[in-house]
Structure 1
Amino acid sequence: MRREHAEWSDATFGDIGPVGPLKHLSKEALEAAADPSDPLEWADMQFLLWDAQRRMGISDEFITRAMIEKLEINKSRQWPEPKEGEPRLHIKEQPATVVPEECPAELPYAQVKAAADLYALCWQSGEVVTYTPDPEKATIWLNNYSGTCVQEYVKLERLQEALAGNSPVSPGGWISCSERMPDKGQRVLVCVDFDSSTVTPLVKEAEYTSSTFRIGPNTINTTGKPSVTHWMPVPAAPEPETMNG
């Protein structure tokens, strides 16, 4: 059943990522609450939950571990009467979150900003999602995914200089996508712009496919959100130092 639904969902909706199914799930949940006796509403919710989990690349085992941890958190909470209605309004004072020493709660925002930006870009599905720059979440994500998804976060002083100028080939070697594109198959550095006041641009290595830029499993074009605005050839590796004598 899962496989059949996944094939239908991919053929119908394409690579939309987990956010769409989750938003739709909230709508179906309200409809199910209006008529809990309708089995089709329950089926829709289960399909959407499966779809979001699959598109997020989360295994059943991962969900089970998270459920075990969350159950312990829920058991520690106080749930006063009435217990129906909006749960968020009925949770009393909660035990203080235990934060490991290596992940201080007061970790400066600047220290997790880069991780949060990468977190937004590198989901396996290719979906770009919004994020909350929470130090704990950023650190957990880095610990779990740094081996497969995280690439070096590059500062953008040269790009900012480029954006301030009008030349198609700007200071630092950045080339505007509106003026010229790379050759097909060429590997380049690209600036990924989120058009957001909270998410700064990223510099990533990408391959140009003649119509889009491929970054790992993700593809980004020069329009929409996010989009590639500038590119430059990948710098040559530094020459190895030679030992005298």
Structure 2
Amino acid sequence: MKKLTQREEMAYSTIARFEVELEQAKVGVWIKCSDRLPEYNQNVLVCFETVLKTQQITTAELNHQKRCSDPASTDFDEIWYVTVGRGHKIKPTHWQPLPAPPTE
């Protein structure tokens, strides 16, 4: 078997990564938050564990918030906010894109 060049290995690695991302972008596929996060301010479906240790599904947005009031600070925390109801903070384990709205 022929040994791949560094350029060929990088190309195969890039293709494999894109195939995984394409598969994960499909609606209905849960993505672990530890693997990848959605874009900021994108409304997505999330799954999180409640204080009673049950799983719950809702919609939420990932935002970033400064850790301190210093305008020069570049330290941010990533915070999820529920987009339905009171907008409380949650810590999801998984997320997925929302399906397209109905056309009829």
Out of 63, 81, 87, the residue aligned to residue 217 of structure 1 is 87
Cα distance between partner residues in 2 of 1:233 and 1:188: 5
SS of match in other structure, 2:28: helix
Q: Does 1:205 align with 2:69?
A: no
Identity of aligned residues (%): 35
- Name the residue aligned to 1:234: 98
| More helix by percentage | 1
Alpha-carbon offset, residue 219 of structure 1: 1.1
- Please give the per-residue CA displacement for 1:125-179, whole angstroms capped at 9, x wherever unaligned: xxxxxxxxxxxxxxxxxxxxxxxxxxxxxxxxxxxxxxxxxx8949931111000
Q: Give TM-score, length-normalised by structure 1.
A: 0.24
C-alpha contact (below 8 Å) 2:81/2:88 kept by paired residues: yes
Cα distance between partner residues in 1 of 2:34 and 2:51: 17
Task: Report 1:24-39 matches (<5 A).
Answer: none
Task: Report 1:169-184 matches (<5 A).
Answer: 169=24, 172-184=28-40
Look up the equivalent residue of 2:48 and give its one-letter code.
V
Look up the equivalent residue of 1:217 and give its one-letter code.
G
Cα distance between partner residues in 1 of 2:59 and 2:87: 12
List runs of 5+ in structure 1 lacking aligned partners: 1-166, 221-226, 241-245
Task: Report 1:20-59 matches (<5 A).
Answer: none
| More strand by percentage | 2
**Bigger RCO of structures 1 and 2 (CA < 8 A, at least 6 apart):** 2
Q: Which portions of structure 1, spanning 4 or more consecutive aligned residues, are displaced by more than 4 angstroms?
A: none
After superposition, the Cα gap between the structure-2 partners of 1:217 and 1:203, relative to the gap in structure 1 and judged at 3 Å, is: same
C-alpha contact (below 8 Å) 2:60/2:80 kept by paired residues: yes
Which entry has the higher C-alpha Rg, 1 or 2?
1
Q: Does 1:188 align with 2:44?
A: yes
Cα distance between partner residues in 1 of 2:51 and 2:27: 22
Cα distance between partner residues in 2 of 1:229 and 1:201: 10
List runs of 5+ in structure 2 lacking aligned partners: 1-19, 65-77
Cα distance between partner residues in 1 of 2:95 and 2:89: 15
Q: Over aligned residue pairs, what C-alpha RMSD do you find?
A: 2.7
